Structure 1
Amino acid sequence: MAKELAYHDEAAVGYDRAFAHVSRHFLPFLLSAARVASGMNVLDIATGTGLAAAESLLVVGPTGHVVAADVSEAMVGQARQRLSAAANVTFAVEDGQSLSFADCSFDALTCSLGLMFFPDPSRGLSEFLRVLRPGGRAAASVATVPERTYNGRINTAMAKHLPAISEATARTFSLGDSARLRQLLEQAGFQNIEITSQAHQFKMPSFDAYFGPFERGGGSTGQAYLTLPQSVRDIVREEVQRNLGDTGGPVEIEVEYQFASGQRC
């Protein structure tokens, strides 16, 4: 039984199928918060399948460089496949709470939907600050509440039947409070802190179009779902259908992210 929402091989392979369209919508806000610009050396931590790293490569251009790093070897492998044609990207398996890079190594740092999964976000933010050059900015996006995340309703429904993932599910929303985010950045030593939020309604043609990728094991949510007995899977599916008000037509899922950024002065 799954004890956490982890990105092993199967989850990594299915992540894009379930989430890519959601992540891509919000990435411009993340890069803007980090002030990513042409010619910069950028670290994308918790890179996942490399979506944010790919976006950064477009911005930094041929004179810049991006390091795509993740604690999951499987995810780094997926990122490597996505970005194999790029000449100015490198890949690394890295623990965001204990980065191997030297002090003052990067002009900017991005972390898309990763910080809330760190066992110790404060330690991670301190590492973010350490590897930034003076004047550089780090930016992290985080989820807010289950009702405004793409898969939060599914995780919450599963946690009722899969107590082992309850803690991980709660952690998903642990940094949704803007005051706490600001406090963490301040304690890490960041200055010129900015906290913003963005929301978007994702309209899917049917409930099956939304839920299907998770039913087939997409992402960590899908992998956890497949550990449930079929009878419990049916219960979870029906609960999520009710929650979204499915009537057989298109369904809308509201997603809201917070973007927290700070500067090393």
Structure 2
Amino acid sequence: MAELTFRREAATEYDQAFAHVTRYFMPFVLRAAHVAPGMRVLDIATGTGLSAEAALSAVGSGGHVTAADVSAEMVRTARDRIGGAPNASVAVEDGQALSFPDLTFDAVLCNLGLMFFPDPARGLAEFRRVLRAGGRAAVSVNTVVEYSYNHQINEMIARHVPGLADAVSRTFGLSDERRLRTFFVEAFADLDMHTVKHTFVLPSFDAYYGPFERGGVSTGQALATLPNEIRAAVREEARRYTEKNSH
């Protein structure tokens, strides 16, 4: 089965494509985890370290943040962002098989990442294992397919690369509240769930599509595998879609 991947171009263009999205939702995640000064925090699926950077501000000089991602290229970018902080560490980690000892962290954060885990239940079990008594895990996931920032492009690509269909569908695999609740209840005794709605507006189609076209994030990596004529067809289809849905 093919997978959406994060290589060098994906990491380089990630902030251009998604920094404003990640930063918008991070305060909700920090509050849900009750992150406070002095805490030890794991930010898993950290991407380029934007969420870990926010967590560093929340824990202050007396706390510590570990930023981890399964992608070595994302970790390299995150290290450039926060690696100079004396109370931060950055590592390549599989969220479904963490290398940390039991009871290591006061909070585990996963901002817009859990839905990409092949086995989210296993990931949540790992979050629980590395949490100290009384610790909290907080995650954010995509919910509404129709208004996804990049899911429509992923579906267009998957029509040309059928092997990606499963990976693309996983992007919204946790949009069903009952399914997400079931996974959490299996790993944790208590659960609070909230829905946050926000519309992101970009100045132009090129501002939206450009980072993907340049190989940014997993969408752009998948685009890069297509012949030029198919890439052009996907671009035109995406342009028509955005024009139709921007009014």
Same fold (TM over 0.5): yes
CA contact (8 A) 2:83 2:90 kept: no
How far apart are 1:246 and its partner, in Å? Answer: 5.3
Partner of 2:110, secondary structure, is strand
2:4 is equivalent to residue 5 of structure 1: yes
- Distance, in Å, in 1 between the alignment partners of 2:35 and 2:237 is 41
Q: What is residue 203 of structure 1 aligned with on the other side?
A: 201
- Distance, in Å, in 1 between the alignment partners of 2:132 and 2:173 is 28
How far apart are 1:235 and its partner, in Å? Answer: 2.0
Q: What is residue 51 of structure 1 aligned with on the other side?
A: 50
Aligned length: 247
Q: What is residue 122 of structure 1 aligned with on the other side?
A: 121
CA contact (8 A) 1:40 1:65 kept: yes
CA contact (8 A) 2:9 2:214 kept: no
Q: Which runs of 5+ in 2 are unaligned?
A: none
- Distance, in Å, in 2 between the alignment partners of 1:103 and 1:13 is 33
- Distance, in Å, in 2 between the alignment partners of 1:58 and 1:89 is 11
- Please tell me the residue identity of whatever aligns with 2:237: E
- Deviation readout 1:164-186 (Å, 9 max, x if unpaired): 21111001111111111111011
CA contact (8 A) 1:68 1:91 kept: yes
Q: What is residue 223 of structure 2 aligned with on the other side?
A: 225
- Distance, in Å, in 1 between the alignment partners of 2:222 and 2:79 is 25
TM-score by length of 1: 0.89
Structure 1 or 2: more strand by fraction: 1
Q: Which runs of 5+ in 1 are unaligned?
A: 253-265
- Please tell me the residue identity of whatever aligns with 1:15: Y
- Please tell me the residue identity of whatever aligns with 2:213: E
- Distance, in Å, in 1 between the alignment partners of 2:226 and 2:218 is 13
Q: What is residue 235 of structure 2 aligned with on the other side?
A: 237
CA contact (8 A) 1:207 1:246 kept: no
How far apart are 1:3 and its partner, in Å? Answer: 2.4
Q: What is residue 174 of structure 1 aligned with on the other side?
A: 173
- Distance, in Å, in 2 between the alignment partners of 1:13 and 1:245 is 27
Alignment of 1:133-212 (within 5 A): 133-188=132-187, 190-212=188-210
Q: Give the aligned CA root-mean-square deviation in angstroms.
A: 1.6
Structure 1 or 2: more helix by fraction: 2
2:21 is equivalent to residue 19 of structure 1: no
- Distance, in Å, in 2 between the alignment partners of 1:81 and 1:141 is 24
